Structure 1
Amino acid sequence: MRPGVRLWKCVLVNALMCALAGPASAAAAPDQKTTYLAPLRAAEEKIGALDDFHRLGQLSAAERKTLEETKGRYLQMLGTYLTNAGDADGAARAFGWWTQLFMAERTAQLPNGALAGATAQDAIEAIVAQARNHQVVILNEAHHVPQHRVFAARLARELRKLGFDYLACETLDAGVMAPLANGRVEKHAGFYSREPMYGEFLRSALLDKWKIVSYDTGGPTGESDMVKRMRLREEEGLENLLQRIFDRDPQAKVFIYVGYDHAAERQIPGRSIPYPMLAEILAKRLGTDPLTIDQATMFAYPERAAEHPLYRTVLGRFARSRPFVLAGPESGYEVIGSSRGRVDMQVVHPDEVRIVETGRPLWMATQAGLSPQAVPGELLPAKGRRLIQAFHMEDGPEAVPADMVMVEAGKKAPMLMLPPGQYRYAFEE
């Protein structure tokens, strides 16, 4: 499969997800209007039993093809709703299966010997050093990886100290110029920002007095030609950025947080979408050179078969406990995979996805700095399953939860992972 096909499949799945985002569950706690469990349940019903995915490596080519055609297209939908419901491990498995089905032909895209002369540098420190010489910083994410939002929040905190003052996020509703004007991170502000780590990223940005701007339209909904629709999406997003930031403040220093290939500055035959992406057209219109960073390639999955072919090689050569970048032997930075030559830098995340005694991924403690808290006993279900949610005490009924966990009757409950503060609780079932 050609690199870049990933984006088309994301578009199709997003359309399915929007259709499945239904009304609130009647069984939800009274203060819940926008639900997490209802669309997740719909996605689970669409995909059905997961047995064949668990034995993916044992299937014949014909069986894999059948699985791809009958259930594979629903994996991203399932994974995204698992992410939004706080199940980072389940989401990673779903997206890992999707990767194995649809991106089996990924290539290393790295010249022989490139790693031999490279040196590892702390990612935040290296990016901040480079950002001093740029007006715009563009960082991407894999939409199913909350860990990427933790990194984005850490980077934003440091960029703010450099004088960056506008934060533009792909997820936010483009119809609202100031989507968080009420000072609260609410579920209706955007789709991906309903996920707890994204919510905490935006809460941190509000506390640091970022001017938060929406821009992404998703492309004109009435356009049936998918290539044209997605090309127009890039152009409409740029126009919103110009109108809402640069036309008003030509010297504005802006941090733009996007998904996947929107951070690409250049088109490379065979490795690019067939039209320029946001970073490229922004550079041309503004006459500026954005600092572009990929973090959607080099990270761990629960199942190693889903990882980039060079990920473990890099980890073995550069043993680091925090996200890092690879500096070239003379200048510049090494980038691995289809983003090579298309972005300036690439973050390598350490492998901290394993589930620990809290029942949650290790990175929630080590990178996000969250502390475990047991689910209040009175909220545990007597039967079935229940999605337990913790909200900041000061937040309203439509706020994004600080965290949530799925609890099943008769099974040990995962622990909530929370920053310091006071919390109230709710549930959906």
Structure 2
Amino acid sequence: MKFFSSLALLLLSIAGYSQENPYWFTDDIKKKVADSTQSQSWRSQMAATYYSISGQYKPALESWDITFGRVKKLSATDSLKFTKLNPVKAKDYILEKAVNEQIVIINEAHHNASHRNFASSLLQGLYDKGYRYLGIETLANDSLNSKKFATLSSGYYSKEPEFGNFIYNALKIGFTLFPYEAEGNNKEREIGEAQNIFNFMKKNKDGKYLIYCGYQHAYEGIHKSWEKTMAGRLSDLTGINPFTIDQTQFSEKSNLKYNEPLLRLVRNTVPVVLKDENQEIYNGEDKDLYTDIKIIHPVTQYSKGRPDWMLNKNRKFYKIPVSKVSSYPVLVLAYRKGEFEQKGIPADIIELNTSKDNRFLILDKGIYDIMIKDKEYKVINIFEKMIK
């Protein structure tokens, strides 16, 4: 009886969920950004965001680079300087450095899901070192602290699976999450974000703070449009110099030719930072607008058609049985048990266009509702799977 009650609840949830589905097929994303009245920049950014939310990592990078991809050359002088830098695992360095910090600020590119995956890998280590509060820019409210997972109403970028996993892991570890987004643009927004974080800090003093933001909000120094960024203004309000981390500059692009030349020299297989002969960390060439460190992310390798950074000691491949798919194309979405009914975020998504496509999800241990949707976004199959 319990099984049938759960199934009935799931089916009722599907009916109410269809109107706000943010997970789309590739062809539908292309149609959504085909508006010729919009700029190419807008189309690139929106397509990159839609692809990212729908679990399509490489197409998100490709769409972004249609407008923003640039071929960069390395001078002989810079090449010589960079070859003298030694790579150190970024995770180890950050966790060691975090011991003596009070505020850590780390950014992301909103279309690059690997940044959320790396940030998630830091959570347990930071919690063990006294970090208790996690401010996330995209959050609309703090209701997920009681729900213990993100939902479609939690925020915009948090609809993406890796963002949902990041939030789920943070709550499971014990972090208290809080929103800090502010209205307005440019300088007004930076002031508002910093003030919102400061207001939270004044009321919550039982631990250290991790702040997760987009792009240049994490930068210190002087911004051409904003003057000081959120990070700089938060430092002024608190009297605390935050430890700032950039993930965006030295991350892979869709094509090797668009990568920063430094990536071609380092050739790392894990995220690293670079130390010089004096043990100083390289943090870029711009000394007017900067972060304390810059992470050099590796170029993604693919296993069974999926990005290798999605795998870790707890995550495993799960192959969708051919028998579970009656027609193509389909979207396959994996929800942690009980989350779909509450408009939760899928832990992983894949699109299958033929029976010959790579059909592997990557999932952490647990029980999942695997949902298969046809081209009209109708659910044609649901089944339960335990990942051990």
Partners of 2:186 and 2:226 within 8 A in 1: no
Q: Give the C-alpha shift of residue 369 in structure 1.
A: 5.2
Deviations 1:59-116 (A, max 9, x none): xxxxxxxx9985343011111111111111211221232322xx557988x9675424
Q: Partners in 1 of 2:265 and 2:38 — Cα distance?
A: 32
Partners of 1:43 and 1:77 within 8 A in 2: no
Partner residue in 2 for 1:239: 195
Q: Give the C-alpha shift of residue 260 in structure 1.
A: 0.8
TM-score by length of 1: 0.76
> Quick check: 1:327 aligned with 2:310?
no
SS of 2:334's equivalent in the other structure is strand
Partners of 1:379 and 1:388 within 8 A in 2: no
Q: Partners in 2 of 1:374 and 1:181 — Cα distance?
A: 33
Partners of 2:25 and 2:351 within 8 A in 1: no
Question: One-letter code of the match for 2:284?
Answer: I
Residues 180-195 of structure 1 mapped to structure 2, 5 A cutoff: 180-195=145-160
Residue 411 to residue 394, structure 1, CA distance change in 2 (3 Å)? same
Partner residue in 1 for 2:380: none
Which deviates more, 181-190 or 329-338?
A: 329-338
SS of 1:404's equivalent in the other structure is strand
Q: Partners in 2 of 1:69 and 1:140 — Cα distance?
A: 28
Partner residue in 2 for 1:37: 23
Deviations 1:169-203 (A, max 9, x none): 11111xx2444322222121011111111111111
Partner residue in 2 for 1:360: 306
Residues 369-408 of structure 1 mapped to structure 2, 5 A cutoff: 370-380=315-325, 382-383=327-328, 385-397=329-341, 398-408=343-353
Q: Give the C-alpha shift of residue 241 in structure 1.
A: 1.0
Partner residue in 2 for 1:264: 219
> Quick check: 1:201 aligned with 2:170?
no
Deviations 1:382-407 (A, max 9, x none): 24x32210111132421100101111
Partners of 2:335 and 2:346 within 8 A in 1: yes
Partner residue in 1 for 2:255: 303
Q: Partners in 2 of 1:339 and 1:426 — Cα distance?
A: 49
Residue 69 to residue 405, structure 1, CA distance change in 2 (3 Å)? same
Correspondence for 1:230 among 164, 186, 201: 186
Deviations 1:352-371 (A, max 9, x none): 2x433x22122222x58531
Q: Partners in 2 of 1:181 and 1:106 — Cα distance?
A: 50
Q: Partners in 2 of 1:351 and 1:298 — Cα distance?
A: 10
SS of 2:52's equivalent in the other structure is helix
Q: Partners in 1 of 2:313 and 2:288 — Cα distance?
A: 28
Question: One-letter code of the match for 1:421?
Answer: G
Correspondence for 2:108 among 133, 137, 141: 141
SS of 1:133's equivalent in the other structure is coil
Which deviates more, 36-45 or 329-338?
A: 36-45
Partners of 2:117 and 2:309 within 8 A in 1: no
Q: Give the C-alpha shift of residue 212 in structure 1.
A: 0.6
Partner residue in 2 for 1:24: none
Residue 198 to residue 152, structure 1, CA distance change in 2 (3 Å)? same
Name the Cα RMSD after superposition.
2.9
Partner residue in 2 for 1:288: 240
Q: Give the C-alpha shift of residue 208 in structure 1.
A: 0.8
SS of 1:165's equivalent in the other structure is strand
Residue 313 to residue 29, structure 1, CA distance change in 2 (3 Å)? same
> Quick check: 1:123 aligned with 2:68?
no
Residue 239 to residue 388, structure 1, CA distance change in 2 (3 Å)? same
Question: One-letter code of the match for 1:291?
Answer: F
> Quick check: 1:79 aligned with 2:48?
yes
Q: Give the C-alpha shift of residue 44 in structure 1.
A: 1.4
Partner residue in 2 for 1:167: 134
Larger RCO (CA within 8 A; separation ≥ 6): 1
Task: Report how many residues are paired.
Answer: 359
Q: Partners in 2 of 1:191 and 1:181 — Cα distance?
A: 19
Partner residue in 2 for 1:336: 284
> Quick check: 1:349 aligned with 2:293?
no
Partners of 1:291 and 1:344 within 8 A in 2: yes
Q: Partners in 2 of 1:331 and 1:251 — Cα distance?
A: 33
> Quick check: 1:95 aligned with 2:64?
yes
Question: One-letter code of the match for 1:236?
Answer: G
SS of 1:389's equivalent in the other structure is strand
Partner residue in 1 for 2:6: none
Partner residue in 1 for 2:385: none
Partners of 2:82 and 2:262 within 8 A in 1: no
Unaligned 5+ segments in structure 1 are 1-27, 50-66, 221-228
Q: Partners in 2 of 1:311 and 1:340 — Cα distance?
A: 23
Which deviates more, 341-350 or 178-187?
A: 178-187
Q: Partners in 1 of 2:50 and 2:325 — Cα distance?
A: 22
Unaligned 5+ segments in structure 2 are 1-12, 378-388
Partner residue in 1 for 2:357: 412
Partner residue in 2 for 1:424: 369
Partners of 2:71 and 2:259 within 8 A in 1: no
Which deviates more, 121-130 or 340-349?
A: 340-349
